[in-house]
Structure 1
Amino acid sequence: MPQLIKPQAEDQQLLDKLRPSRIVLPVLLGLSVVGFMFWRSYQPGDLAPLANAKPLWLLLMLVVLVARDAGYVYRIRYLTEKVLSWRAALDVIMLWEFSSCILPSAVGGTAVAPVLLHKEGIPLGKSVAYIMATAMLDNLYYVLMVPLVVLIGGDALYPHEALQGGLVATLRVGFVLSYVFVTAYALLMLYAIFVNPQAVRRLFIRLFSVRGLRRWRNKAYQHGNELVLASQQLRGNGWGYWLRAALSTAFVWTARYLVIGCLIAAFIDVSWPEFWLIFGRNLTYKVILLIAITPGGAGIAEGAFPTFFGKFIGTPTMTNFMVLLYRIVTYYLYLVLGAVFLPRWITRIYGKRKAEQVLHS
């Protein structure tokens, strides 16, 4: 169980995951893929749309980015019942984003976030509960939004223009399976937190006692215990607490999915139906990022971007430029911000000497 982790081991695991040297691999992967894409298709005349940039859309993109991060800060502060100061909430979100960029997408910042909250003075049990609440709300947003974008976009959510029929069918199956899995898991978390966590813990233990799944039994047992703990911590919160959490979750994820559309509209004329189709394609694009094994999806996110959004941009050269700009504002920016916030946070939590040790490791 989380409470049994020794403080020294917990600290070491956290600082190992946040090592600045972890930045190198994802940067090399991402820039190498973009560089190869430019090398393969670069045509100087294809960048002509850059001269017609629309400042209003660029400003809107920056507003969306800032609003998204502000929404994250607001959500974590109010989910933790204002135990975090605004400064501490900002530090936690920046380091959470940073860890999502340097750890594999399947792991993400969720592995680090409970310890970050714990180091801010929140008991580890409550920290785990708060992070599980964010995961549940994030999954529920996806569960509710997918039917809406499918209703609006239909079969156009899949990039038929860039993939052969067999690959489109594979993507469609992957999208449906991921939706079913996320829905089942979100409903299971809802049931565990608000109805019967002990029953879900027993289900996890029995499921992972099946031959072939036993290697994950200990993790399933731990996860079941975490759900019980989360239920104990969260069930007493009123409707106002959950309404505020749900609305802030909808706000930050909607802003997150709007970034690509704003970026493309800043250089390319897109109609409103196309703009919302771009928004919808973000949810199918997410399937690729969910299964990415590289840190922050580096290399994979860049390589898949033209398949999903090249149709709305035009030439391969311009599309590659959009890939680079998109990753700068949504990925490399957070590597830089993480490098700025990390030493300040370590100094505040552990002291200046520890910060120097970590930063030079």
Structure 2
Amino acid sequence: MDQNKKTILKSFSPVKILIPVLLGLAATAWLFVRDDKVGELKGIVDANVWWLIAAVGVLVIRDAGYMYRIRHLTDKFLTWRNSIDVIMLWEFASAITPSVVGGTTVATIILNKEGLPLGKSLAYVMLTAVLDNMFFIVAAPIALLVSQGQVFPTFNLEPSDVSKLQTAFYISYGLIAIYTFIMIYALFMNPRAFKWLLLKVTSIRFLRKWRVNAFQHGNEIMWASQQLKGNNFNYWAKAVVSTIFVWSARYFLLNCLIAAFTDVTLSEHMLIISRNLIFWIVMLIAVTPGGAGIVEMAFPSFFGLFLGGFSTIVVVLYRLITYYPYLVLGSVFLPKWIAKVFGRHHKESEVSV
């Protein structure tokens, strides 16, 4: 079996899909039992339906933005149809892998099997990571400044817990910054030195079996770096704007859900967005697939101030809209995509023979 196919099937195994579902459901059930919120599910009936529709609309717009961005980054090599496959499977991979790992390895294989050379596939995945992380690096200090210290939650938290949360944020932020600047260095400043580092690392005895691959990837990154450097201002402007757009949409979706259950002022909308940014930077170091269980548990502390008794209901709706659908959609898209790309590869092999 094709090694890439083995990797895809292993990454998307039923067990890996079941784990985040069980973790999320367990955490949600615990929240309802702990806070005695079962009877308050009827509050959904009184929610503002237009804000709920807006939340779904923002989700669709966000995914359309992701499709536009990956198509633009690949210089329209991907069709709109292929872009849908890539984004759905990418989101699927992110949903079933720990946030600290993400779906980058699988995303590289997905782009490669769509016809992009491996070097370019890796470069585009790295580029999306750099763009996303630069958004965090720039936006987080702005959120801290605008919120004037209110960005870290104190709702139902002990001072020691707030301190731990702040520590987790700064650790996550620091790791993101280090990773991002290494990637910027590899792609745009000195890919040859990055290749040397890969070879140096794989010269260690227990890593030597990856030395050939390191040499190959080093060469591909050097070539991809040259391709990326040749892009004009319009290319980079659209890449940056589309990144800001998709992440703004991702965050504003929660604003829509909160506004469906309670009146939210403009200043509160800004604070919710700021807290959401800090929330997800902290969640990036989550060790569970897609942050399952951890997101549900931490959510009331961050946003309970705005929701009161509806925080548990909103976190359930939030995960139902932004997380679980990708588990379902990914399970639908995956078999068709595997049949398409690996079936095509098999036919091409028969023709070459």
TM-score, structure 2 normalization: 0.88
Q: Could you tell me how far apart the structure 1 residues matched to 2:168 and 2:218 are?
A: 27
Q: Which residue of 2 aligns with 1:79?
A: 73
**Which of these residues, 312, 319, 322, is aligned with residue 314 of structure 2?**
322
1:273 aligns with 2:255: no
RMSD over aligned Cα, in angstroms?
A: 2.7
Q: Could you tell me how far apart the structure 2 residues matched to 1:83 and 1:308 are?
A: 41
Following TM superposition, by how much is the alpha carbon of 1:232 offset from its aligned partner in structure 2, in angstroms? 2.7
Counterpart AA for 2:80: W
State how 1:177-216 maps to structure 2 within 5 Å. 177-202=171-196
Q: Deviations over 1:232-291 (max 9, x none)?
A: 331111111111111111111111111111111111112111111111111221133212
Q: Deviations over 1:129-183 (max 9, x none)?
A: 1111111111111111112111111211111223211221222122223223323
Q: Could you tell me how far apart the structure 2 residues matched to 1:152 and 1:266 are?
A: 24
Q: Could you tell me how far apart the structure 2 residues matched to 1:306 and 1:204 are?
A: 43
Q: Could you tell me how far apart the structure 2 residues matched to 1:49 and 1:106 are?
A: 35
CA gap 1:19/1:257 in 2 versus in 1, 3 angstroms: same
**Which of these residues, 118, 121, 131, is aligned with residue 124 of structure 1?**
118
**Which of these residues, 260, 271, 283, is aligned with residue 254 of structure 2?**
260
Q: How many residues align?
A: 342
**Which stretch shifts more, 185-194 or 129-138?**
185-194
Counterpart AA for 2:328: V
Q: Which residue of 2 aligns with 1:164?
A: 158
Q: Which residue of 1 aligns with 2:146?
A: 152
Q: Deviations over 1:297-356 (max 9, x none)?
A: 1111111111111111102xx21111111100010011111122112212222349x9xx
CA gap 1:297/1:44 in 2 versus in 1, 3 angstroms: closer
Q: Could you tell me how far apart the structure 1 residues matched to 2:227 and 2:132 are?
A: 19
CA gap 1:173/1:229 in 2 versus in 1, 3 angstroms: farther
CA gap 1:103/1:178 in 2 versus in 1, 3 angstroms: closer
Q: Deviations over 1:77-102 (max 9, x none)?
A: 11111111111110010000011111
User: Is the contact between residue 169 and residue 282 of structure 2 (CA under 8 Å) also seen in structure 1?
Assistant: no
**Which of these residues, 131, 139, 143, is aligned with residue 137 of structure 2?**
143
Q: Which residue of 2 aligns with 1:114?
A: 108
Q: Could you tell me how far apart the structure 2 residues matched to 1:47 and 1:227 are?
A: 52
Counterpart AA for 1:319: S
Q: Which residue of 2 aligns with 1:296?
A: 290
Q: Deviations over 1:35-68 (max 9, x none)?
A: 1111122246645643432222112211210010
1:347 aligns with 2:339: yes
Unaligned segments of structure 1, at least 5 residues: 1-6, 355-361
Unaligned segments of structure 2, at least 5 residues: 347-353
CA gap 1:174/1:203 in 2 versus in 1, 3 angstroms: farther
TM-score, structure 1 normalization: 0.86
User: 1:157 is paired with a residue of what secondary structure?
Assistant: coil
Q: Which residue of 1 aligns with 2:330?
A: 338
Q: Could you tell me how far apart the structure 1 residues matched to 2:306 and 2:229 are?
A: 45
**Which stretch shifts more, 301-310 or 14-23?**
14-23
Q: Could you tell me how far apart the structure 2 residues matched to 1:327 and 1:312 are?
A: 18
CA gap 1:238/1:62 in 2 versus in 1, 3 angstroms: same
User: 2:300 is paired with a residue of what secondary structure?
Assistant: helix
Q: Could you tell me how far apart the structure 1 residues matched to 2:157 and 2:166 are?
A: 12
Q: Which residue of 1 aligns with 2:281?
A: 287
**Which of these residues, 7, 21, 33, is aligned with residue 39 of structure 1?**
33
